[in-house]
Amino acid sequence: MKVLNKETTLEKSLIALFFLMGFIEVVSDDSYIQYTIKPLQIMLLFALYSYTSIRKNPLFFINMIFLLIGRMLFVPKEKHMLFYALIAVFFHRIIEIYYVIKLTKIKDYIPPLLASIPFLIYFLYLVSIPDSVLIRSYLILIVQIVLISVLSGIILSQYLLTFNRKDIWLFVYGIMSLMQTFVIFIEKFYLSDFKITSLRPMALFLNTIVCFSFYKFVITTERLNDD
C-alpha cells in the first residue's frame, strides 16, 4: 500500500499533461480548440485513473463521459443548446451523487438533506430572476439545482461530521463545484447578452480543478477503504 500511495513518474507526467491541457483550454478562445482539448483532458483523466486505481470502477468512466458530453454542448453560444447540455449534466449529477454516496458509505441521510436546504434556496433565488431562459431549459435547470444542492449537502455533512483524509479532496471538489456552478449561472443567465470574456476562462479553470479533485477523492477513498 505504501507503493501505491507514491506518485510515480508516469502519474506525475499524466497530471502535468492534464493541467497543461487545462491551461491551453483557458487561454484559448477558439471553439475548435475547445472541442479538441475537452476530450483530451477526459482521456488523460481516464488514463490517470486506470493507472492508479486498483478497482477501476466503471462508474468513474461513465460519470466522466456524461460530464464530457455536457461540456461539449456548453461550447456553442446558442441558447437552445443549453437544454441538451443540461440533460447530459443531469445524468452526470445522478451518477455522481450515487458514486459519492457509495464511496462515503452514508448511513444517515438526514444531515445531508438538511445541509442541502441553504444551497437549494440560494440557487433557486438565482434562477428566479432571469426571464430570458426557455421554459424547457428552465425546468431541467430546476432539477439541476436540486441535484447540485443534494450533492453539496452530502459533501458539507461529510466534512463536518466525519472528517478524514478523503474528505479533504471531497471538500475541495465541493467548493470548486459550487464556484463553477455559480459562475456558469451568472454567465449563461445574466451576462449572455454582454461581451464579457472573463467568466468563461474562470469556469474552465474551475472545471479543471473540479475534475482533478474528484479524481483525487476517488483514488484516496479507494486506497483508504482497502487499508
pLDDT of residue 3: 40
User: What is the residue range of 30's domain?
Assistant: 2-226
Rounding to the nearest 10 degrees, give the CA dihedral for residues 100, 93, 183, 44: 70
**CA 40 → CA 48, 66, 212, distances in Å?**
12, 15, 14
Residue 132 in this model has a pLDDT that exceeds 60? no
Please state, in angstroms and rounded to a whole number, the distance separating the CA atoms of residues 117 and 95: 21
Residue 17 in this model has a pLDDT that exceeds 80? yes
Q: What is the pTM of this model?
A: 0.86
Count of domains forming the chain: 1
